[in-house]
Amino acid sequence: MNHIHGHEVMHMMANSGLSYNRDTLRSAIHAQFGKETTFFTCSSDRLDADQLMDFLQSKGKFHPTEDGFGLAKDKICNH
């Protein structure tokens, strides 16, 4: 099983240049990293894709778009 930092999802989103909704982002995460992958952040661990999306949204990492939401690129920390 893979265990990946949430920054990788944010980089995937930034590189795609796409807007997402929960379903399309979940599908993109599963396609890129696998359905069984868990994620960690600086303050959370063992998150599934939905829990990671909730966490990132709560931290202001997403901004609303016409199609759903996009990544607030200025909110990606680089540590």
The CATH number for 47's domain is: 1.10.10.10
26-68 pLDDT, tens digit per residue, is 999 999 999 999 999 989 999 999 999 999 999 999 988 888 9
B/e letters for 14-27, b = 16+ CB within 10 Å, e = fewer, are eeeebbbeeeebbe
* The pLDDT value given to residue 79: 64
Question: What's the predicted TM-score (pTM) here?
Answer: 0.91
Task: Find the domain containing 40 and state its range.
Answer: 3-75
DSSP class of 46 = S
Domain count, the chain: 1
